[in-house]
Chains A and B, each alone.
Chain A
């Protein structure tokens, strides 16, 4: 079975090397990531409807039951 497999899938040359220097491609991804990170600001975050609904619910809860605020903060 081993012989058959090695005939069907010849082992890779131990000296195999990439055909080009891959550092530029890695560097490009790193740079793209840092650009993305810099471009994210609180104002640019898209608030989904569910987020706004949760926020409104929390605000209403705090308004009607202000005593719950310390308890809520404790469990945050």
Chain B
């Protein structure tokens, strides 16, 4: 993400739509990319990016320009994505939709069959959303613990604990299906 002049941040805080548009165009791509990492569906990521910036504008009075826009936006984006994952967990009939829009791995390991990959994705989609977000960002996307902790609004130790719990539950689920990771 890019830095923006403090005057733009102050104007945004006071409700300027022009300043908000400037910030939107500076951060749209990064916010979208962050959400896509979590929800793994481009159309949903676009919808949630709009939702995120809507929430950002709504919450502008609570924004502290001295702390920067990037981390704040990422935190709101993570919250919006988490809300969506929770809603989907109740509504989703087929968890296969979880990664349907993303391309297959560029370098598929021959030792890992398509069936195992499918079962792993399904087992992963059955995890609680807060565990899934932490594991997706840390293990799959290899984002720094510090960034993930800030985005989730928890400590680094809590992120590590969530990742540990997610992997333990995933391993258990896969073992019940006869897959030994």
Q: Which residues of A contact B (CB under 8 A)?
A: 1-12, 14, 16-23, 25-27, 29-30
Contacts and interface: CB of A to CB of B under 8 A. Distances in A.
Given A4-B120, A5-B124, A10-B105, A18 B28 contact: yes
A17 B136 contact: no
Interface stretch (B5-13, B66-74, B138-146): B138-146
Interface in B1-58: 17, 21, 24-25, 28-29, 32-33, 36-37, 40, 42, 45-46, 49-50, 53-54, 57
A4 B140 contact: no
Contacts, number: 102
B21 to A, nearest CB: 6
B167 interface: yes
A8 B112 CA distance: 9
A10 B104 contact: yes
Chain B's interface size range is: 35 or more
Interface string B117-139: 11011001000000000011001
A17 B117 CA distance: 26
B171 interface: yes
A11 B140 contact: yes
Contacts of B181: 1, 4
A9 B33 contact: no
Given A21-B28, A22-B46, 17 more contacts: A1-B139, A1-B167, A1-B181, A3-B112, A5-B140, A6-B139, A7-B105, A8-B116, A9-B102, A9-B121, A10-B105, A11-B141, A11-B142, A12-B33, A14-B33, A16-B33, A23-B28
Given A18-B32, A22-B46, A8 B120 contact: yes
Nearest to B141: A11
Contact of B136 (A9, A16, A22): A9
